[in-house]
Amino acid sequence: MHPWHVRPQKSGKGSAFVIDAAKRRIITNAHVVEDATVAHVRRLGVPKRWPAKVLHLSRVCDLALLTVEEDAFWKGMEDVELVDTPHLQDQILVCGFPIGGDSLSITSGIVSRVTLCSYGTSTNKLLAIQIDAAINSGNSGGPVFLNLQERQVAGVAFLKHASSSADNIGYIIPKPVVDNFLQEIEVSGHVKHCCTAAVGFICQPMENPYLREKYKLSKDQSGCLVFRISPLSICSQHLRVGDIILEIDDKQLADDGTIMFRDDERLSYAHTIRMKMVGETLHLKVLRDGKELHLSYPIAARDPLVPEFHNLDCVPTYFITGGLVFVPVTIPFMHHALGAQWRRVAPVRILDAMMGYKSAEDQQIIILHQILVADINFGYKQGMIQLKDFNGTPIRNLQHLAYLVDTCSEEFMEFTLDFGFRIVFRTRSAREESQAILEQHAVPHDRSPNLQDCAGQRPDLAPAVAVDP
């Protein structure tokens, strides 16, 4: 995987449906239209294709809104009604245009499960409905009807379980997630923080009796133990490590980290958080030193140490010196570099670092991704390993590294990697040979465009705070 390369253009197709005919709004999956240079839509039974415009897109909840400007497209068009999350065993119909033909396909099934799952490459889990009806390539973005005659839609088809050991497992995006997406558009006119609300802490289950006894949890109480808090969040001003979360927004938290959803169904407490709008107040009941406290604070958007979405919170970025290719760790990078199963094959130390919180707003995890072979780096074979410091200076981010290398006046450049590994170059030799290395490996520049714009400029580093281990 080379971050200086642009992928070739390709075409694709998906399904969509009208969610608001009066406002001329069409909804589909974000992954159907993301990065599209042009998009066209076609009405059922009509051969003509109309040019469409992407109005809003959220990779977090995998939804996008489109419109068509031509009046002819909307003649006689009716929208649908989104209904509340269906119950287990409810009958559903999946409509769309999957592979295997050009005409409308309708498959039937039932609701198998209501759960939280990851949308695409995101580590952010959202509410999803599992169904046993077939969802194939091309179905993405289409409506899943609870009642076709009444035009009642249970959600948006978006994912198929691709495991070879599983059959007939598909997922749809339910009304609460769609509503969150549409509400932010209605309130702010754009999509930026949809389904990204975060509590600012990590907690663990308290099912073990000795753990409960240690932290003075009575038999009538249940909750989860806070063991890590984001030092940059408002949460750090209210919670402490060792607090026990008993209730979230007046909903009792079980020892396994779940809350009551409806009837006999339970979901992770994360569902309550993700469905809140950024800026809303979060209400907690906590147990601290054996005493119950009520805490409240405004909820903020997730700002993970490792960015999750291309062109949303990260772009392909790199810096090369002496043939060493340095990149910041992002979810898109890990996915493209190591494949869809990157969580299973990535170095444990990098996965561990990814679990942390930021100690500064501009902090990045920088890794040595690969080494472009040259005489100057002979004998160095490290790759996919975290960079710790340069000539004794801890590295804050990739721009910081580029500045330190560009302005280095010492005789040697020393890169200290994880585990204490060292890579050393003579400064003059590294600068003299860098261009030849780039030409030999057909690399156009020693850094990505965003770093070219600030080459030689001292980065204005944000204040750093201490992070609990």
Catalytic annotation, residues = 31, 62, 140
Whether residue 373 contacts residue 323, with contact meaning beta carbons closer than 8 Å, is answered with yes
Please name which of 96, 62, 77, 258 lies closest in space to residue 174, comparing C-alpha atoms.
62
Please name which of 35, 43, 8 lies closest in space to residue 309, comparing C-alpha atoms.
35
Q: Using alpha carbons only, give the angle 13, 15, 17 rounded to the nearest 5 degrees.
A: 145
What phi, psi does 214 have (nearest 5°)?
-60, -40
SS3 content of the chain, % helix, strand, coil (to 5): 20, 35, 50
Number of helices (H), then strands (E), belonging to the chain: the values are 11, 29
Distance, CA of 115 to CA of 119 (rounded, Å): 12
Which amino acid is present at 6?
V
Sign of the alpha-carbon dihedral angle for 224, 226, 230, 235:
positive
Neighbours of 370 (CB within 10 A): 18
The CA distances from residue 433 to 130, 319, 422, in Å, are: 56, 15, 20
Beta bridge partners of 118: 125
Distance, CA of 138 to CA of 140 (rounded, Å): 5
Whether residue 412 contacts residue 426, with contact meaning beta carbons closer than 8 Å, is answered with yes
Kind plus residue range of the DSSP H or E element containing 146: strand 143-147
Distance, CA of 20 to CA of 66 (rounded, Å): 11
Whether residue 132 contacts residue 150, with contact meaning beta carbons closer than 8 Å, is answered with no
Sign of the alpha-carbon dihedral angle for 45, 49, 55, 56:
positive
Helix runs in 144-236, H state only: 175-188, 209-214
The CA distances from residue 64 to 30, 79, 130, in Å, are: 5, 16, 21
Whether residue 423 contacts residue 430, with contact meaning beta carbons closer than 8 Å, is answered with no
Distance, CA of 314 to CA of 295 (rounded, Å): 34
* Structure tokens, 313: 């919170």
